[in-house]
Amino acid sequence: MKSHNQHDSKQVLSIKDLNVRYGNETVIEDISFSLTEGEILAVMGPNGSGKTTLFKAILGSLPYNGKIILGPETKIGYVPQKIDLERNLPITVEEFLLLRVQNLKYGDVLSPETALGLVHMGAPFLHKKFSELSSGEFQRTLIAWALIGKPNLLLFDEPTSSIDVAGQETVYDLLHHLHDSEKFTLLLISHDLTVVYRYATKVLCLNHSQACFGIPKDVLTPTGLKRLYGSGNFYKHATV
């Protein structure tokens, strides 16, 4: 039975017996875990293992069986891996962020300038066009978009997949800063073992079913990684 309701204030998110199917194909099978305030949970797994599908289920954008229980104060912000938006559109950063402000019809929202400040982009960026942004600046603009609704749970689907190495470091440092200064709870998909060890308090290993869940240093053993990715494959995935 499907359930998407509220729960204990310290528990930001609880998932119980989650199953997702696309037609006759089972994409997620019997996943259960919980996330409490202030945690950083990294979701790891090979391509096509159900990671993005898990996010879509949490966001309520596809049908599922099981329970997804949100805390009473939980508000979700989402930064997708890709956005269906042409970078050469004649639109400024401010105009883009104002679209988000106008779409939110509940509670307080941040101004575009305040949201940009949280991602370390000053007021001059408001008047920049998308075509003038670097890949890292564009990614930070998407994070600012997610922050406008004042979420306390942020979902990131491979936040650095299209960014160069220097930009990746900047984005992950930013996420860590947001976690520390704004007390966000973070749920992110990552293939990078270094990132998981450095930033995550918990890790969920997903390959359609749940291969592991716990503290990275405890569960990301060579045996566990081999079980998750298959022999010889996890090194490649871990550095993508």
Q: 50-86: per-residue pLDDT in tens?
A: 999 999 999 999 999 999 999 998 999 999 876 766 6
For residues 89 and 130, what is the distance between their CA atoms, to the nearest angstrom?
7
Which is nearest to 221 in space by CA: 192, 193, 200? 193
Q: Note whether 110 and 147 are within 8 A (CB).
A: yes
Asked if the model's pLDDT at residue 114 lies above 80, the reply is yes
Range of the domain at 14: 1-74+153-159+187-240
Number of domains in the chain: 1
Mean pLDDT along residues 195-201: 91
pLDDT at 41: 97
Instruction: Report the pLDDT value the prediction gives residue 61, as an integer from 0 to 100.
Output: 93
- CB of 74 closer than 8 Å to CB of 154: no
120 occurs within a structural domain: no
Question: What average pLDDT does the structure give for the chain?
Answer: 86
Give the CA dihedral 82, 84, 88, 89, nearest 10 degrees.
Answer: -140
Residue 144 lies in a domain: no
Mean pLDDT value across residues 150-171: 81
Q: Is residue 63 part of a domain?
A: yes
CA-to-CA separations, 89 to 12, 129, 131, 142, in angstroms, rounded: 37, 8, 7, 15
User: Is 239's pLDDT higher than 60?
Assistant: no
What mean pLDDT do residues 16-34 have?
96
Q: Are 211 and 224 in contact (CB under 8 A)?
A: yes
Question: For residue 226, what is the domain's CATH number?
Answer: 3.40.50.300
Average pLDDT over residues 165-169: 74
Q: Which two tokens stand for residue 92?
A: 């400024």
Q: What is the pLDDT of residue 237?
A: 41
Residue 194 lies in a domain: yes
Q: Is 182 within a domain?
A: no
Domain-located, residue 225: yes
pTM: 0.85
Q: Is residue 86 assigned to a domain?
A: no
How high is the pLDDT of residue 40? 95
Average the pLDDT over 18-27 and give the result: 94
Q: Identify the pLDDT of residue 162.
A: 67
Answer yes or no: is 177 within a domain. no
